[in-house]
Amino acid sequence: MLIYDTIGKLPLIGIEVDRWAFYRPGSLQSVRDEIKNNVFKLAGMPLVRLSTTGSGKSTIISRALREAVGLTFSNR
């Protein structure tokens, strides 16, 4: 998924959900993931990868979005 600024029409971050069951080092999917990593790195854009087996996805996405738009919040 690509999240973009609706006013400037510029991409902010990419989000991808990695299915753990399909990931194997050296597999076609791992090669595709490496290509995506390089594309986002060359574009200077963050790519947030979420695991289907992990937790805290909303917190991870929220932090990435705040960072992408330059917002920081203090913990109270």
Q: Which of 2, 12, 20 is nearest to 71 (CA)?
A: 12
Global pTM reads: 0.74
Q: Give CA 61 to chain center in angstroms.
A: 8
Structure tokens at 34: 């490496």
Q: 44 — alpha (psi -120 to 50), left (phi > 0) or beta?
A: left
- Could you read off the pLDDT of 38-68 as tens digits, one per residue? 999 999 999 999 988 878 888 988 999 898 8
